Chain A
């Protein structure tokens, strides 16, 4: 297992290096001059030249790439063109919003999806199954920004229980921060829960058809214990895979929800950075996401091994 893990980490690092080259060259190709964008339509040519020099844009591409990668290796992500503050600091501030948001919605979606999926699987073909899976279908189909607006009108405009958007910062207190995150977390969690519930149900159904389940039932084990103990554990592998994917999405793929709630999250940072050609920020965030996906995948693999002891020795 340990050798396997080390191998995974080595592959992960190689992937990061390849990703850095791809990300950097793709962003070099897209048109748009960050200096021109900052100085606008009245800028004099010598002003532009001065700013480009200040931003270090006059160096050859290859040198800038080396500069950047060697910086990354020691944890220096560079300085944002537009914000003129360290990229790592910018990302850090945004992660303080995006990470809790992702974790809360992941928690919500799991707490909703697992029982629903198991429940539906246990009552396969019965009305309860049809109804819950129908509801899940609706959950998958509802656009999350629309659902978010419904939530805002209900809980913020009408009931005034929570703010309509924005994030006061954790300095304002944990409770104030959580209050700002709860609606977006629900809006994000619902469609994820719907998908997860469907995956859980089909994974459970597959396992429930296995011989050992019949054997367990035949030797007189209560239905509930068979379901939760024997079946669920074996059905968890596809569920874990989906959870891993969802986490990566929730961390940065939430730009629409962040816009609707005007949350200062990672998605908004990337979006803003792309439109302003703040390339170094885009590169930094993308690298962070690549790293996150790699780490989550490794964690999911470890999760497999915990769930299924056979996987611990096989590799």
Chain B
């Protein structure tokens, strides 16, 4: 009897939920491939954390907009001293954290000092490296003094790793995040889903959604039925590449192909023979046919790139013709470098499809000019350990998903092992330059240097393949930063 009762009760509940959904839809289930390890964006590099919480639950002093622009967020406005070293931020008033405590200058000081402390576990600590001191002027004003001028400082503050946290709750953010955003934390069913609910006390424009659930759907084969059955209404990054065609022809769904900040490259160990010879690297560049690599890569989408820079950025220059596809030229260059019969090397491939599928094509293209690649599949932990940390590799394919990260080519001892004083000089100048027009010029120069040096094989910009219900409005098409900003998302009536 008891069971029957609970069955009837359950059915009634389902019915009720069903009718409520039809009346005025304010809930949304979003499919994500990876579950975040925890919910503190200031303590991990995992994009999965930012993709749920950035702009939705946590906010920084500035934020990155739809097209990659820097917008005010918790800082209403700011002034920069003439020497470019002192930033004075005027904080928005009436902002409270989700636990009810007020947000003020002390919180800003706490957040920034915590991120750059000696025992900080912030994955992007370099964002704060330029900061010399953070001073509280009054509860609504903060003065940040830099060691030297930094043109990208306001942009850096818009990263997920720079979001504002409160001293009282910072340690608990991994399990129960407390921020200032339009959504607050609802519930985390581990392995299953993370639910955010509308924050009724939000300082800004209230969001249209009452509830947003991020459901973990790790399997490509599961994503399509989840969408078709209506269980999940949006996949900002659809995992199912070759099944996409099935969705594209269905009028119930929108397929939006956007750009990410992911430069997919054939990373090359510049410090190791024979790749330390620029002619060998040029030969590789000439041997790569980007169109074929993109076409064979699951979805078939992606924009060819000729340097390490996003085509969505205003400073982008198309350098794909620097070393155009020309296998004959590639063979000549190899002969000149002393490898008339080619050589053998290894290609280590991490798990994502762009690497594992793209790697097969790259290997076959290089084989045609005499470079015989042995493909070695590795998992993430191995990749980080062997390739990234110990530089124990010849070639690998990887997408560098951090926004605006051309400066990695200036890093000493980075895994490319590339060392060009001229490039470092450009980066140093860029760091110290605030003038936007001048910065664009410098970015262009930087792109050209690494393209001409053929540091890596530059393949394509990773696409963002978003699929969602056609009645859903306001989803982001591009991802200028790792985020799924739901601020403007609503259901059309």
Where the two chains meet, the residues of A that have a C-beta atom closer than 8 Å to any C-beta of B are: 30-34, 36-44, 46-47, 50-51, 53-54, 82-85, 90, 93-94, 97, 145, 149, 152-153, 156-157, 160, 163-167, 169, 173-176, 259-265, 268-269, 272, 275-278
Contacts and interface: CB of A to CB of B under 8 A. Distances in A.
A50 B119 CA distance: 5
- Which of A39, A44, A260, A261 is packed against the most chain B CB atoms within 10 Å? A39
A84 B176 CA distance: 12
Given A164-B222, A262-B222, A39 B45 contact: yes
A284 to B, nearest CB: 14
Interface centre among B11, B119, B193, B381 (most CB of A within 10 A): B381
Given A38-B123, A260-B221, A264-B191, 10 more contacts: A83-B37, A84-B175, A93-B190, A157-B229, A164-B229, A165-B226, A167-B189, A259-B222, A262-B218, A264-B216
Contact of A157 (B174, B191, B225): B225
B25 interface: no
Interface of B: 6-7, 9-11, 13-14, 35, 37-38, 44-46, 118-126, 174-175, 189-193, 215-219, 221-222, 225-226, 228-231, 379-382, 384-386, 388-389, 400, 402
B54 to A, nearest CB: 16
Contact of A166 (B38, B192, B400): B192
A156 B225 contact: yes
Contacts of A165: 217, 222, 225-226, 231
B125 to A, nearest CB: 5
Contacts of B125: 43-44, 46-47
Contacts of B124: 42
Chain B CB within 10 Å — which of A152, A164, A261 has the most?
A: A164
Given A83-B38, A264-B191, A47 B122 contact: yes
A197 to B, nearest CB: 28
Contacts of A145: 221
Contacts of A85: 175
Nearest to B8: A175
Contacts of B6: 173-175
Nearest to A47: B125
A98 to B, nearest CB: 11
Contacts of A166: 192-193, 215, 217, 226, 231
Q: Give the 3 A-B CB pairs with smallest separation, nearest first.
A: A40-B45, A264-B191, A32-B381
Contact of A262 (B10, B119, B219): B219
B325 to A, nearest CB: 29
Contacts of B226: 164-166, 262
A33 B385 contact: yes
Question: Which of A41, A47, A152 is packed against the most chain B CB atoms within 10 Å?
Answer: A41
Contacts of B386: 31
A275 B44 contact: no
A275 B381 contact: yes
Given A32-B382, A43-B45, A262 B217 contact: yes
A34 B174 CA distance: 17
A93 B14 contact: no
B122 to A, nearest CB: 6
B121 A54 contact: yes
Nearest to B129: A44
B351 to A, nearest CB: 8
A188 B256 CA distance: 36
Contact of A47 (B38, B123, B217, B381): B123
A37 B386 CA distance: 12
B14 A37 contact: no
A173 B193 contact: no
Given A38-B123, A262-B216, A264-B191, A153 B385 contact: no
Contacts of B389: 33, 36
Contact of B118 (A46, A160, A265): A46
Nearest to B7: A175
A269 B216 CA distance: 13
A94 B191 contact: yes
Contacts of A275: 379-381
Contacts of A163: 229, 231
A109 B230 CA distance: 30
A237 B270 CA distance: 65
B217 to A, nearest CB: 5
Contacts of B119: 50, 53-54
B37 A82 contact: yes
Contact of A38 (B9, B45, B189, B228): B45
A262 to B, nearest CB: 5
Given A33-B389, A264-B189, A82 B384 contact: no
Nearest to A262: B217
B37 A38 contact: yes
B384 A33 contact: yes
A277 B121 contact: no
